[in-house]
Amino acid sequence: MRPVAAVTLGLILFLDAVRVLLPSLITIYGQAGDTPPEQLGLFAALWFVLPLLALLVPPRWALLGGAAVLAVGRVALQATDGGLPQLYVSGVSVTAAIVFLYGSAKLVAGPHARLALPLGLALSPALHLAIGHVDLVWRDGLLPWIPAVLAVGAFGWAVLGVTETADPAPGRLWFALGPALLLTGMFLGPSALIGNGVTPGDRVWPTLALLAALIVLALAGATGHPAQLAPILVIVAVWIAHDEGRLQVATLPVFAVGLGWCLRVAGDGPRGRRPGGALLAGMIVFFAGTFLYYAAYDTVIGFDNAYVVLALGVAVAATAVRLPDLPRGRPAVAAALAVLALWAVPKPSGTDSPGLAVDRDEFTLIAYNIRMGFGLSGTLDLDDIADWAASRKPDVVLISEVDRGWFLNGGHDDLDRIATRLGMHYHFAPAADELWGDAVLTNLPVRDIQSAPLVTAGYPTGAQAQTVLVEVGGRQVGIVNTHLQEPAIQSAALRAVTPMPPALIAGDLNLTPGDPAFAELLRRTGLTDPLTAFGDPPTSPADDPVRRIDHVLLSPGLTAVSAEVPRVPFSDHLPVVVRIRVD
């Protein structure tokens, strides 16, 4: 079974590298939007086009050479600390992994491939979830090195046991791997578990359901199947997912079983003529799907990005279609209708905590654009953000650019990780979609909470205004948490959602105190800018701040006792910390 272990571990190491490369493209090469998207796209495509050179070398060389570079790259990733080394090592590792898989497609026997591919797809997100959805690559100290080195050593041992076979799997199985990788990365991870108001303790059963679904995916890929049902299960589950931006817990087994069966069916039949070429084509689909889907949040692509997800589901399903089976598809129609009924199953949700009443008339507030948790060097700094925030003993933490499972950023639930470490309850407000937005963290009593979308005039990334009423010293204080994308237009809408005094507006407004729209916002809302009395400290960019675009604006009835903008390297913005007295 060494070929099975080789391909399975190769997929796990491949996804390890992908979860580093994709966010590194944005935070290191792209500088969070400063690089033209065309240039960024070409640079990203390079790592998925270079493997085409494997067509020119013998499969054995591709398998051994790709495996060797991937193994070295994985160890090097553990040693890097952000910056250009992280970007290029992860890129080379992704290219090497695809070359290794090309060699595997040519050399690994069909029965071994049919088991290894779904097993790798299942184990990678399961392990990622089991370690708190923060990869070992992002962790310091000696402990993360132990499993990383063991995995690389086991991978090397398994690769040396792969011998040439006369019966490789059909090309359609290896092609299906590309879109299947993206679908599992998008839907089988922390994003499947989120529910507004759900605390970490409430997520035990959803987590168990996800792990069970992942195991089913692996087993379904190696056992019998009703061929005519598999494509329908995948398409129905993906259709449900694109409507919600994620899979519900109830639909996870549907998706997992359908995907596993599709891979099993795709692996049946006579040997394909070009399994290696099919694998390379599938990886191009993987890259194109990733780029198209997430590009829709930065530029107008001309169509709803939900259709990208649906197209990926259709691509996987098509590999399992057998024309002779279609007349026997009536049971599948009935099963599909039953699956659609799962759509009505409620989302997992918890109850809001009543909070802890305080008898003092002051509270500390932090407003921080965390850039999905990626610091100035491009490393994932969620734990550092939480530890720093805890040192300020905040009563309210407002964070924006919160990612709750985008595969593009590595598939982390930023909010759950930070809130758990801080020991605070959270309230999430979706903006771009159900997985990206803003949040309030507090243990104060919350009397009301709402979120209103802000109209955009062409900017793809959505924006919202989250209004929260908290109780401080027996009085209610209104807080508006927002991240403006088109400030000249959206700032005018904040007046309608600002509560009666005492109240405040805070967040990344993308306005400086000298902007006319900022002055108009203060005039319309009656708010004041207290940071001018504390040195008017700039907040952006974090490495060399020259302008203040992150604000805490106060109404009458609130007074800033102290205010500071600490120089911390955990985002491309600096946080604003204000001690506020309720008069």
CATH number reported for the structural domain that contains residue 455 in this entry: 3.60.10.10
State whether 164 and 252 are in the same domain: no
How far apart CA 527 and CA 259 sit, in angstroms, is 54
| Least confident among 46-60, 206-220, 302-316 | 206-220
Strand ranges inside 22-109, DSSP E: none
Cis-peptide into 502, omega within 30 deg: yes
- What pLDDT sits at residue 522? 93
Question: For residue 348, what pLDDT band results from cuts at 50, 70 and 90?
Answer: very low
Residue 341 pLDDT more than 80? no
3-class SS of residue 409? helix
Of 140, 168, 196, the residue that ends a domain is 168
Q: What is the mean pLDDT of residues 178-201?
A: 73
State whether 559 and 410 are in the same domain: yes
Amino acid (one-letter) located at 271: R
What percent of the chain is predicted at pLDDT more than 90?
59
3-class SS of residue 571? coil
- C-alpha distances in angstroms, 136 versus 13, 302, 482? 11, 38, 32
306 within a domain of the structure (yes/no)? yes
Q: What is the largest CA-CA distance in the chain?
A: 81
Give 528's strand partners.
554
User: What's the chain's average pLDDT?
Assistant: 85
Q: Please, where are the H alpha helices in 452-507?
A: 487-490, 494-497
Residue 323 pLDDT more than 60? no
Q: How many distinct structural domains can be found in the chain?
A: 3
Cis-peptide into 541, omega within 30 deg: yes
Residues 508-553 have pLDDT tens digits of: 999 999 999 999 999 989 999 999 999 999 999 999 999 999 999 9
State whether 287 and 316 are in the same domain: yes
Query: Who contacts 392 (Cβ-Cβ below 8 Å, separation ≥6)?
Result: 364, 366, 577
State whether 161 and 297 are in the same domain: no
- What pLDDT sits at residue 342? 40
Better-predicted residue by pLDDT, 550 or 239: 550
**What is the residue range of 418's domain?**
362-582
* Radius of gyration, CA atoms only, the chain: 25
How far apart CA 433 and CA 406 sit, in angstroms, is 10
How far apart CA 516 and CA 524 sit, in angstroms, is 12
Amino acid (one-letter) located at 50: L
State whether 164 and 175 are in the same domain: no
356 within a domain of the structure (yes/no)? no
